[in-house]
Amino acid sequence: MADELLVFEQTIEAVFVRALHGRLSPACRERLRQAGLDLEQKLRPAYPFASWMTFLRIVAEELYPQLPLEESAFKLGEAYMDGYRETMLGRAVLSLLRVLGPRRALMRATQHFRSGNNYTESRLKELGPRKFELWMNEVGSLPSFTAGIIHAGLRTAGVENLRIELAGYDGHACTYCINWSDASVSSGVAGSGDSKAATRSGSINSL
């Protein structure tokens, strides 16, 4: 893993420029500026991981003040994928997910996340049909944000009735227990049929 954990410009763009465009109040934008993210200026090539976590926490607090941080961070993870889809790289990666199917998409988690940072490492353990454990080395203080990304990515890959649970979180690394009852693609996992948009049904739980 890299000595200095960095989050690349395209990741910041996907969340704060694309996904949340028009949703950030002046007060929120000022809090971000004070924390090191000035959305009125050109984005830097990379930002420290600790700053990234701070940016996400600020937006979670501002956009979803009525929700527990775990739930608001999950929503931001899903929103990230919406914004990522609008970038050139995101369009290519998400098109690939549809071809790969969910199993092979999970197997490539390190490569997918490394397109936006310099530190992600992952290990996948297959427990049974449509049941996996995905370990990730660094998810910071908001593990449910990464869970939201995984959830949205697997829906893109064709998963339906998805459930994600957090297990073994130590403040840095986290194991995600992932299972689903069906998939709408024929590649990668059992569960064939014509490709169609996956439903938004699913859940996340902390253990």
Residue whose tokens read 């199917």 = 101
| Distance, CA of 131 to CA of 59 (rounded, Å) | 32
Q: Which two tokens stand for residue 56?
A: 């996400």
The pLDDT assigned to 198 comes to: 31
The pLDDT assigned to 1 comes to: 61
Tell me, rounded to whole angstroms, the distance of Cα 47 from its chain centroid: 17
pLDDT-wise least confident of 11-20, 97-106, 188-197: 188-197
| Distance, CA of 189 to CA of 32 (rounded, Å) | 42
* Domains defined along the chain, listed by start: 6-180 (3.90.1520.10)
| DSSP at 13 | I
- Are 40 and 26 in contact by the 8 Å Cβ rule? The answer is no
The pLDDT assigned to 62 comes to: 97
pLDDT at 184 over 70: no
pLDDT at 115 over 70: yes
Q: What are phi and psi of 155, to 5 degrees?
A: -65, -40
Supply the pTM of this predicted model.
0.85
| DSSP at 179 | E
- pLDDT confidence tier of residue 45, bands split at 50, 70 and 90: very high
